[in-house]
Amino acid sequence: MTRHGWILWIFCTQLMLARTPPVDRADRLFLEGDFAQAVQVYQEAVASPLDEADKPFALYMLGLSYYRIGDLDMGGRVLWKLVSEFPDFALADNAYLEMANRTAARGQSAWSEAQIQYEALLTRHPESESVPEALLGVARIRTRLRVFDAAEQALTRLIRQYPDHPACTPAMFELGMLQSHPGNPARSASLAIQNLNLFVSRPDADESLQALAWFHLGSLYWEEGASEDAVSAFRNLIVRFPSSPMAATSQASIAEIYSGIKLYGKSREAYRQLVENFLLPQQVRQDVRQIMESLEARETGKMQVSAWKAEVDEGKTRAVYSGDVRITAGKMVGEADSADVEIRSGNMQASGHVRLTWGDEVLIHADAMHGDMAKGILTLTGNVSVRQKNRSDSDGRFDAITLNLSDGKWKTAPPGVKR
């Protein structure tokens, strides 16, 4: 039973005999769960002459009874009347917290009102046991209202002043998410990582939030270039929460991370686990298999071709590709509108908006390209433009160039005129 529950039980049992008859009957109805009938009887009690000790308690219980039957508007009005007329009532702080939580649940239109109620509790009852919950509540509202600095102040205060309170653990999660919020002007991935790690290490961390925290940690580490930590975070999610909707995305992220740092073998293995261990749509499975073939080509130098349409002759000696053609061999990735490949010899011709990259060092645009893939030499022709890191003479246009696929080196080909 929560602290609020114990308070109600004490009031409704120990003091029941001292109540006036209407309040006594309403208390019994509330404890029995007949909240609709309790509302009627508490209303009668509030409207009748009552002792000073009974009136605020009857209002408090009437407000809670309204909440229990789903009438948030009347519940809030009654509790506001209570705290306005009886600010020193023993449960006034609880009334503020109850109001604020229920108001916040009404949605965006009520967030500002909820913020006022949380702040009233913090200002008027600074020693209340409800302060940690109020700090967490007001921080969530301020985050939704995009008042990020004030939200961070509330969460930081909660974590520092109430480290053993149950509200501290979700506050660490909220703070980590706030510090990595894309709309936060003071966004800090490193601080977010620190607080999310504190959250997942807490034994009372909510499981559904843990999964989200691990996923967010993986994404933040990846953003920061900490590949090993990113992979570890994503794997933690997969192992601990294999049925999470984020598990498949985490596995795909691991594969992308390895591919990005050119560990193509590990990337293919991660993609293989994605296909084998997760239920994927058929088209996604096909796309993943194409990626795996492309990774194998990068690792081994073997040419791989994909396109919207492919036609192979009867003797399976020649293939014609069209529509978003992608050709991969080692570190070379070429794109074109169409391509013609002699399957046995590896001779290839491609044309139409040719774009070729060799790793992250060379970028070439041309009208067409052809070459002997077995020998690893390509010729690109027609309005060729080249950009290469650390080579100043590459900027410009050429009639033709040749590219060595083994090392990415290129040179002008006859006539080799730079325009």
Which pLDDT tens digit goes with each residue over 324-353? 888 887 778 889 999 888 866 778 898 988
Predicted local distance difference test score (pLDDT) of residue 51: 67
Tokens linked to 363? 């970028």
C-alpha–C-alpha distance, residues 357 and 30, integer Å? 73
Mean pLDDT over the full length of the chain: 87
Handedness of CA 335, 339, 344, 347 (dihedral sign): negative
Give the pLDDT band of residue 5 (cuts 50, 70, 90).
low
Percentage of the chain lying above the pLDDT 90 cut:
54
Tokens linked to 417? 């005129």
CA distances from 135 to 32, 72, 76, 124, 209 (A): 33, 22, 20, 14, 19
CA 379 to chain centre: 45
Nearest-5° Cα angle at 278, 276 to 279 = 110
Q: Is 210 within 8 Å of 241 (Cβ atoms)?
A: yes
Predicted local distance difference test score (pLDDT) of residue 391: 60
Predicted local distance difference test score (pLDDT) of residue 393: 55
Q: Is the pLDDT of residue 215 over 90?
A: yes
- Residue in 236, 227, 233, 287 with CA at minimum distance from that of residue 263: 227
Beta strands in 235-298 (DSSP E): none
- Residue in 147, 203, 240, 204 with CA at minimum distance from that of residue 217: 240
Tokens linked to 167? 């509200």
Sorted by sequence, the CB contacts under 8 Å of residue 87 that are 6+ apart come out as 124
Domains and CATH numbers, the chain: 206-300 (1.25.40.10), 304-412 (2.60.450.10)
Predicted local distance difference test score (pLDDT) of residue 374: 66
Mean pLDDT of 313-317: 77
Predicted local distance difference test score (pLDDT) of residue 419: 46
| Lowest mean pLDDT across 24-28, 282-286, 317-321, 359-363 | 359-363
Predicted local distance difference test score (pLDDT) of residue 18: 47
C-alpha–C-alpha distance, residues 268 and 259, integer Å? 8
409 or 7, higher pLDDT: 409
Give the pLDDT band of residue 412 (cuts 50, 70, 90).
confident
- Residue in 400, 397, 399 with CA at minimum distance from that of residue 385: 397
C-alpha–C-alpha distance, residues 32 and 195, integer Å? 43
Mean pLDDT of 102-126: 94
pTM of the shown model = 0.69
Predicted local distance difference test score (pLDDT) of residue 26: 85
Give the pLDDT band of residue 406 (cuts 50, 70, 90).
confident
Tally the C-alpha atoms within 13 A of residue 62's C-alpha that lie toward its C-beta. 25
Give the pLDDT band of residue 397 (cuts 50, 70, 90).
confident
Element spanning 370, H or E? strand 362-372
Predicted local distance difference test score (pLDDT) of residue 15: 45
Predicted local distance difference test score (pLDDT) of residue 16: 45
Mean pLDDT of 113-120: 95
Predicted local distance difference test score (pLDDT) of residue 416: 47
C-alpha–C-alpha distance, residues 144 and 111, integer Å? 8
Sorted by sequence, the CB contacts under 8 Å of residue 174 that are 6+ apart come out as 136, 139, 140, 143, 155
Mean pLDDT of 77-102: 93
End-to-end CA distance of the chain: 82
C-alpha–C-alpha distance, residues 311 and 319, integer Å? 6
- Residue in 27, 47, 46 with CA at minimum distance from that of residue 38: 27
Which pLDDT tens digit goes with each residue over 138-182? 999 999 999 999 999 999 999 999 999 999 999 999 999 999 999
